[in-house]
């Protein structure tokens, strides 16, 4: 399946957002996720099925002021 991860085209065999994050090296990271502009909480990532063409954003928290 073809998706976009943080604006870059990517091919994946992951069926869920959780699987994609593990495949992409984000499994243990503290992150926020959105699919097609909609926030996906951590508790729902394992149940969030991916579809061809999805746009996934992975954001890490930043400190600053």
Q: Is residue 45 part of a domain?
A: yes
Query: What are 16's two structure tokens?
Result: 């869920």
Report the C-alpha gap between 28 and 54 in whole angstroms: 22
Q: What percent of the chain has pLDDT over 70?
A: 97
pLDDT in tens, 2-32: 999 999 999 999 999 999 999 999 988 899 9
CATH number of the domain enclosing 18: 3.10.20.30
Quote the number of domains for the chain: 1
**The pLDDT of residue 27:** 86
Domain that holds residue 17: 2-59
């Amino acid at each position: 399946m073809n998706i976009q991860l943080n604006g870059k085209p990517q091919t994946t065999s992951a069926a869920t957002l959780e699987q994609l994050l593990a495949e992409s090296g984000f499994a243990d990271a503290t992150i926020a996720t959105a699919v097609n502009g909609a926030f996906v909480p951590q508790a729902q990532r394992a149940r969030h099925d991916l579809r061809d063409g999805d746009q996934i954003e992975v954001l890490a928290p930043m400190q600053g002021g």
